[in-house]
């Protein structure tokens, strides 16, 4: 039987806790070998989605398919998955080697093979078996425990690996390093990774595709670039990266651009989008780094330009964030790159009047 292209498929899956729909009619498919992230704030349903996939929860409606078969009623140990838990969930009474061997022992693998595979799994996660095999989990650092948890899952050579916020407890530097290693493991082993996180930067850095979840639904599913550059809703635009929101009433269209009149009478041009209706209200998102600042009257031709007043300048090293307010009081954040001596950025001070300028194509029209 040829392996289906989708290793995991959710079809209209819902899960209710009491009166609350934790997961609400969710449909998506995960491709073989991809690094797939479920991203969202706490309470968005991402962990419940992962637990539905792992088999710790049973859907109230819909189908969970794993490798083509309906798995709704399968116990976790029947699903052929492995999982890395948020708190690592290492068995505190077993050595590192016995922890890693646990799954193999349950599968009645011969002792000699267990030994060999445990050693290989530890090497895979860069833990020297000679040093660490006999240690107890309590004798390990957070990063080492993380590696043991990973080895314990990978030793089973699963087709699908579930990871529930595995890097949450690590410090920033270690987290960055583990991100790279996880990504490399995903590529080298060809295992499908399903990764739950609330950290948008982490999801952007590691994922092939991201499902952004909000209130039990998938708000948007796409590659990191699609999600960052074309957020579909205000929630996605706001949750991933930073966004400025500009609203107005839709006017006429000309040459694929619509004119939008803001409440204070200023105008901006917005690219065509299926959600645009003449005379309706529209909300657009613009990333701070897509904006630029000019002196009044010096805006580049063809770009949108709105007059503003500088409120605050925040120096961040590689960028400078200039906080301005538009005529109607809307706050807007502009990120100006620090390009060293090459292009001296204009010096802005609180109270300066300026123009916020950007390409009309960089307006992301949001669905209501």
User: Which residues make up the interface to other proteins (CB under 8 A)?
Assistant: 54-56, 75-77, 81-83, 85-87, 89-95, 97-98, 101-103, 106-107, 114-115, 118, 133-134, 136, 152, 156
User: What's the closest the beta carbon of residue 88 comes to other proteins, in angstroms?
Assistant: 8
**Residue 78: exposed, middle, or buried by beta-carbon count in 10 A (0-12, 13-18, 19+)?**
exposed
User: What's the closest the beta carbon of residue 364 comes to other proteins, in angstroms?
Assistant: 39
117 versus 269: smaller Cβ distance to other proteins: 117
User: What's the closest the beta carbon of residue 132 comes to other proteins, in angstroms?
Assistant: 11
Measured at the CA of 95, the angle between CA 92 and CA 101, to 5 degrees, comes to: 105
User: What's the closest the beta carbon of residue 83 comes to other proteins, in angstroms?
Assistant: 5
User: What's the closest the beta carbon of residue 189 comes to other proteins, in angstroms?
Assistant: 18
Nearest Cα residue to 165 out of 85, 82, 251: 85
- Please tell me the total number of residues recorded for the chain in this structure: 368
* Cα(3)–Cα(128) distance, integer angstroms: 35
Nearest Cα residue to 261 out of 243, 245, 244, 246: 246
The alpha carbon of 198 is separated from its chain's Cα centroid by a whole number of angstroms, namely: 7
Could you give the C-alpha distances from 188 to 35, 61, 124, 148, in angstroms and in order? 12, 36, 11, 19
User: What's the closest the beta carbon of residue 98 comes to other proteins, in angstroms?
Assistant: 6
The answer to whether the beta carbons of residues 332 and 324 sit under 8 Å apart is yes
78 versus 298: smaller Cβ distance to other proteins: 78
90 versus 127: smaller Cβ distance to other proteins: 90
* Cα(277)–Cα(273) distance, integer angstroms: 9
């Amino acid at each position: 039987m040829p392996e289906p292209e989708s290793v995991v498929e959710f079809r209209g899956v819902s899960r209710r806790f009491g009166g609350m729909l934790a997961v609400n009619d969710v449909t998506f498919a995960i491709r073989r070998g991809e690094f797939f992230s479920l991203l969202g704030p706490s309470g968005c349903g991402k962990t419940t989605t992962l637990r539905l996939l792992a088999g710790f929860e049973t859907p109230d409606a819909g189908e969970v398919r794993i490798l083509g078969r309906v798995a709704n009623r399968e116990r976790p140990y029947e699903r052929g998955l492995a999982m890395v838990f948020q708190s690592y969930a290492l068995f505190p009474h077993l050595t590192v080697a016995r922890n890693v061997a646990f799954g193999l022992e349950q599968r009645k693998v011969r002792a000699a093979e267990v030994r060999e595979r445990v050693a290989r799994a530890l090497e895979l996660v860069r833990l020297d078996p000679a040093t660490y095999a006999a240690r107890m989990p309590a004798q390990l650092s957070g990063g080492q425990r993380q590696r043991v948890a990973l080895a314990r899952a990978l030793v089973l050579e699963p087709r699908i690996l579930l990871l529930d916020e595995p890097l949450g407890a690590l410090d920033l530097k270690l987290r960055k390093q583990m991100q790279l290693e996880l990504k490399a493991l995903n590529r080298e082993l060809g295992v499908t990774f399903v990764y739950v996180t609330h950290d948008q930067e982490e999801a952007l850095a590691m994922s092939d595709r991201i499902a952004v979840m909000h209130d039990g639904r998938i708000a948007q599913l796409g590659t990191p670039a699609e999600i960052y550059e074309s957020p579909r809703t205000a929630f996605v635009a706001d949750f991933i990266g930073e966004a400025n929101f500009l609203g107005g009433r839709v006017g006429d269209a000309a040459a694929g651009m619509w004119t939008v009149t803001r409440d204070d009478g200023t105008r901006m041009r917005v690219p065509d989008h299926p959600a645009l209706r003449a005379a309706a209200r529209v909300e657009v998102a613009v990333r701070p780094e897509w904006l630029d600042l000019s002196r009044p009257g010096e805006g580049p031709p063809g770009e949108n330009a709105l007059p503003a007043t500088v409120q605050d300048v925040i120096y961040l090293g590689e960028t400078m964030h200039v906080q301005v307010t538009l005529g109607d009081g809307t706050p807007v954040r502009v990120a100006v790159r620090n390009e060293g001596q090459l292009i001296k950025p204009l010096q802005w001070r609180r109270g300066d009047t300026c123009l916020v300028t950007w390409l009309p194509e960089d307006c992301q029209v949001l669905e209501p």
